[in-house]
Amino acid sequence: MTTNGSAKRIRIKVGGIQLEAELKGTRTAEELYRALPAEGPLNVWGEEFYFKIPGVKDHRETATTQVKVGDVAFWGAGQVLAIFFGRTPMSMGADPVPADRVNVVGRVVGDAAALRQAMNASTIRVERIEQGSSIG
């Protein structure tokens, strides 16, 4: 559910890169939003960043292996949030392919490929963007 007609947004900070993502109106996305802020060691798998966020229940509303560049997904089995910004080791074409079914919970606003500039970062932070606040 959205508040005052707008979708909930999160901020992703990795290396010197900062992006926003818009969350879907699913229960898993809501659980993720409530669990934020979260910070942890950054894991890289091809052009996918992921890290563990404990305490989020995966309701598997959109469990799939079909993802696109810019998708933000939650893998419940590993309690991991994944951000896809290009090809992964399982890709056969241009689209990323997750190692297992993931629940797509949102989408990066703007160019997710900007995350390529943060490949050597060691940590990632994801935080809520409170409704009605905009930081320039």
Residue 52 confidence (pLDDT) above 80? yes
In a domain, 1, yes or no: no
Instruction: Sort 93 into a burial class: Cβ within 10 Å, 0-12 / 13-18 / 19+.
Output: exposed
Instruction: Report the share of the chain in percent with pLDDT over 70.
Output: 92
C-beta neighbour count of 99 within 10 angstroms? 16
Looking at the domain assignment, is residue 134 inside a domain? no
Residue 121 lies in a domain: yes
User: Does 112 reside within a domain?
Assistant: yes
Q: How many domains does the chain have?
A: 1
3-state secondary structure of 102: strand
Confidence (pLDDT) at 2:
45
Question: What pLDDT is stored for residue 18 in this prediction?
Answer: 97
pLDDT of residue 133: 52
- How many Cα atoms occupy the beta-carbon half-sphere of 126 within 13 Å? 28
* pLDDT surpassing 90 at residue 74: yes
Residue 3 lies in a domain: no
Task: Give the percent of the chain with pLDDT over 90.
Answer: 82
pLDDT band at 60 (very low <50, low <70, confident <90, very high): confident
Task: Please classify residue 27 by burial: count the beta carbons closer than 10 Å to its beta carbon, then call 0-12 exposed, 13-18 middle and 19+ buried.
Answer: middle
**For residue 93, is it within any domain?**
yes
Q: Which amino acid is at 45?
A: W
Task: Say if CB 38 and CB 88 are below 8 A apart.
Answer: no
Residue 44 token pair: 């890289």
**Which DSSP helix (H) or strand (E) runs through 33?**
helix 27-35
Q: What is the mean pLDDT of the chain?
A: 92
**CATH number of the domain that 110 lies in?**
2.40.100.20
User: What is the pTM (predicted TM-score) of this model?
Assistant: 0.91
| Segment 13-34, tens digit of pLDDT | 999 999 999 999 999 999 999 9
The residue written with tokens 């996305």 in the block is 29
Q: What is the pLDDT of residue 69?
A: 97
Range of the domain at 111: 9-129
Among 4, 8, 37, 5, smallest CA distance to 25 is for 8
The C-alpha R_g of the chain, in whole angstroms, comes to: 14
Asked if 98 and 65 count as a contact pair (C-beta separation under 8 A), the reply is: yes
Please give the structure tokens belonging to residue 83: 């951000």
